[in-house]
Amino acid sequence: MIICSSGLIGLIMANTYMTRPLNLYHLQLAIQLLETEINYARSSLPEACSRIAEQIKQPVASFFGEFAANLQSLESPTVIEAWNRALQILKEAGFLKEDLEIMAQLGNVLGQSDADDQIKHLSLLQNRLASAIKQAEQERDKNVRLWNYLGFCVGALVVLLLF
Residues that bind other proteins (CB under 8 A): 38, 42-47, 71, 75-76, 78-79, 82, 110-115, 117-118
Among residues 58 and 123, whose Cβ is nearest to other proteins?
123
CB of 89 to other proteins, least distance (A): 19
**With the C-alpha atoms ordered 149, 151, 152, 157, is the resulting torsion angle positive or negative?**
positive
- Which CB sits closer to other proteins, 15 or 43? 43
Q: Could you tell me how many helices (H) and strands (E) the chain has, helices first?
A: 6, 0
The least CB distance from residue 111 to other proteins, in Å, is 4
Q: In whole angstroms, how large is the CA radius of gyration of the chain?
A: 20
Nearer to other proteins, 39 or 131 (CB): 39
Dihedral of CA atoms 90, 95, 100, 103 in degrees, nearest 10, equals: -60
Residue 59 beta carbon to other proteins: minimum distance, rounded to whole angstroms? 23
